[in-house]
Structure 1
Amino acid sequence: MKLAASETNRSLSTSPAHAHDMLKFSWNATDHVKALTPCRFLHAPKPRLLPSGRRATAAAVISCYPARKAPTLAVISDGSAWVEPRSGSSADRLRLGSLTEDGLSYKERFMVRCYEVGINKTATVETMANLLQEVACNHVQSLGFSTDGFATSSTMRKMNLVWVTARMHIEIYKYPAWNDVVEIETWFHKDGIGSRQDWILKDYANGQVIGRATSKRVMMNQETRRLQKVNDAILDEYLIFCQRESRVAFPEENNGSLKKIDKLEDPAQYSRLGLVPRRADLDMNQHVNNVTYIGWVLESVPQEIIDSYELQTITLDYRHECRHDNVVDSLSSHEPDENLEAISQLNGTNGSATSPATEDYRQFLHLLRLSGDGLEINRGRTQWRKKPMS
């Protein structure tokens, strides 16, 4: 959404030049004009080309004057590749997010609440993961692509198919504190037999990149619980909203999001047995929420690591779904750190201070499995950096 501040509050009834100075909202898909005061229709300017090259054939000029603000221009495209606006809900009006100008990514701002911070007086990794999930759901809602928040197309719903997360990789270079505002941008694209969603997290106050994340998703049949390849009909529906050119959150060669996670074998160095899903851990599909697995993984991390280090990177491979009546064991062990030198440079390449020494980092392998039959649910890797001196 492109915003250009108005220089004056003059009337727009005569000169078209005034329209250039107005606050502009580009309705690439389902952006909504969040006008909370009465508005009146002025006129419809001539069709023009959007920055993407598409022709905007439907437009409206709406005059709104909250506290003597300049009028608002809303351009609505009715091209075949665009989604027509739907009526805005209260959530739409209050949400601090919108599609970007090309309509292919989505940005939203969040303020960190007091109940979202942990013992370090900063947001927890679970908080960050929940925000990633929230902005991803709001993205597809804003497109009108899916009304259930799970990015299912009409063809997918007819075929009883859903997207499931196969891998999640999160890197946090600086955790926001209570009352900090975080801006998250997200976008998705086709990736092999599935899809990929990427995120960039920034400190809204200064624009500093404080984190990045990516997830790999595959398609599953809800009846058979088996994975299924994306067919052409679904691909046609999906590609409309994907990036036209390659854009990834982790462009570095051999980055951590691609690294294989070996299975942790017994005996593990650390364990936490008998973890049981709470009712609050279940999502809208009656399965354990993806973020709950992060908490379970951290339950078996030794206390001395929790006390002296903070989590920098977490990678999880989701291998089997977990239901409300399952009992889970969490296992962790130190992982050989032959790549520790590269790990210590992560902050330096992403806008934060470089680690003073490689010994300030620790790395673990993790395994979540069912207590009864030992079925592997999840395997993971975490990387930890020494807490900054207070």
Structure 2
Amino acid sequence: MLKFSCNVTDQIHLINQAQCRFMGLPRPVSSVRRRNVSLPISNPRTPVKIQAVVSEQGGRTLTEIGSGTLADRLRLGSLMEDGFSYKEKFIVRCYEVGINKTATVETIANLLQEVGCNHAQSLGFSTDGFATTTTMRKMNLIWVTARMHIEILKYPAWSDVVEIETWCQSEGRIGTRRDWIIKDYSNGQVIGRATSKWVMMNQVTRRLQKASDEIREEYLVFCPPEPRFSFPEKDNASLRKISKLEDPAEYSRTGLMPRRADLDMNQHVNNVTYIGWVLESMPQDVIDSHELQTITLDYRRECQQDDIVDSLTSPEWIEDSDAVSKIQGTNGLPAKGDREDYRQFLHLLRLSGDGSEINRGRTEWRKKSGR
């Protein structure tokens, strides 16, 4: 695969000319046709001329990154040669890091969401409603998150470059699964993995709905023919059931309210906001001495702007050292056998008014290095 090798001055010049390709593009498999198209930018009288490459592969039409909007042209990402997975590079910005000068888990989750949406957009799916198909839009259907599992082996620091690969596949009639692999671009080391489940909801009735054959045909053509998982291990942590946290919880933070900025394009609280709410009720001594290694969230119901939320947290005790070793092994970490080095908690987000369950979760924490 081609690498971008020009210096900083050349990069700026080429970006301004909208002519610099950051990654090698998928090689066309069979019939290929090239055409120049004009794309309007901020000034509609100043079109940008670019070249589009369209290839027919296995009955699917693939368009190279750079053949759509100006944003497509400037992104550090593209479809892979197989046409199923998508990779994109990101620079960790100063406003995306916390007190340790490393990316926060919310930053990681936002990047996962961004690369997933860019993948869908590169395949031609609508950007209105997070990758909805034509039939879904006709039926007022949208995708909503049912489960999210993120494991972070090493947090990237400010100015680090990460490369994220993503792909999606079928989860039967109930929806789809999307996986991610996160790498340190400087050395190719895997620093994180994630997986998620998505289901369809009617935007008018706010009820879940199964995927019809017509809808499945629209997105299955872009899924790998053979199952591929970011967590291939048997009985991995992403599959573990989360027990409901019962009152009284050991730690709590009540009266949390969504901000206007927390609402997404589907008019409900964005799934990344729940991560912040979960962490609000974590005990400060754990935050000071440990760092988040794994977070798993099951989304039970959507949250609206006027809802008031309570965040509850209690320790989930690990029965034996074998369980500790198993958890560490899932994350690619050495088993230390010290139960205090690794802590595990159960979480519950609920409506303050009637106690309805919004979200239940589990977090696993490892001792910060140097402590």
TM-score by length of 1: 0.81
- 1:194 has 2:175 as partner: yes
Q: Residues of 2 paired with 1:205 and 1:353: CA distance?
A: 23
Cα deviation, 1:150-199, whole Å, max 9, x if unaligned, reads 12100111111111110000000100111111100000000122110000
Alignment correspondent of 1:58: 32
Cα deviation, 1:104-152, whole Å, max 9, x if unaligned, reads 0100011111111112221110010000001001110111122326121
CA contact (8 A) 1:209 1:351 kept: no
Q: Residues of 2 paired with 1:94 and 1:37: CA distance?
A: 7
Seen in structure 2, the aligned counterparts of structure 1 residues 266 and 4 have a Cα distance that, compared at 3 Å, is: closer
CA contact (8 A) 2:349 2:358 kept: yes
Q: Residues of 2 paired with 1:228 and 1:92: CA distance?
A: 32
Partner AA of 2:153 in structure 1 = Y
CA contact (8 A) 1:163 1:217 kept: yes
- Spell out the pairing of 1:143-158 with structure 2 (5 A cutoff): 143-148=123-128, 150-158=130-138
Q: Residues of 1 paired with 2:330 and 2:242: CA distance?
A: 23
Q: Residues of 1 paired with 2:93 and 2:63: CA distance?
A: 34
The DSSP-based 3-state class of the residue aligned with 1:129 is helix
Identity across matched positions, percent? 69
- The answer for unaligned runs of 5 or more in structure 2 is 6-13, 21-25, 37-50
Alignment correspondent of 1:362: 343
- 1:266 has 2:247 as partner: yes
CA contact (8 A) 2:151 2:331 kept: no
- Spell out the pairing of 1:276-287 with structure 2 (5 A cutoff): 276-287=257-268
Work out which of the residue numbers 162, 166, 170 in structure 2 matches 1:182.
162
Question: Shift of the alpha carbon at 1:355?
Answer: 3.9
Work out which of the residue numbers 164, 188, 192 in structure 1 matches 2:144.
164
Question: Shift of the alpha carbon at 1:352?
Answer: 4.9
Partner AA of 2:263 in structure 1 = L
Q: Residues of 2 paired with 1:166 and 1:349: CA distance?
A: 22
Q: Residues of 1 paired with 2:258 and 2:4: CA distance?
A: 50
The DSSP-based 3-state class of the residue aligned with 1:140 is helix
CA contact (8 A) 1:34 1:93 kept: no
Seen in structure 2, the aligned counterparts of structure 1 residues 136 and 231 have a Cα distance that, compared at 3 Å, is: same
Seen in structure 2, the aligned counterparts of structure 1 residues 331 and 81 have a Cα distance that, compared at 3 Å, is: same
Q: Residues of 2 paired with 1:125 and 1:382: CA distance?
A: 12
- Spell out the pairing of 1:1-390 with structure 2 (5 A cutoff): 2-3=1-2, 36=17, 55-60=29-34, 76-79=54-57, 80-84=59-63, 87-148=67-128, 150-192=130-172, 193-338=174-319, 341-344=322-325, 352=333, 354-355=335-336, 357-389=338-370
Q: Residues of 2 paired with 1:229 and 1:239: CA distance?
A: 15
Question: Shift of the alpha carbon at 1:101?
Answer: 0.6
Q: Which deviates further from its counterpart, 245-254 or 145-154?
A: 145-154
CA contact (8 A) 1:340 1:361 kept: no
CA contact (8 A) 2:67 2:73 kept: no
CA contact (8 A) 1:56 1:75 kept: no
Seen in structure 2, the aligned counterparts of structure 1 residues 384 and 55 have a Cα distance that, compared at 3 Å, is: closer
What is the aligned length? 342
Partner AA of 1:128 in structure 2 = I
Partner AA of 2:242 in structure 1 = I
Q: Larger radius of gyration, structure 1 or 2? A: 1
Question: Shift of the alpha carbon at 1:90?
Answer: 2.3
Q: CA RMSD in A?
A: 2.8
- The answer for unaligned runs of 5 or more in structure 1 is 7-32, 40-49, 63-72
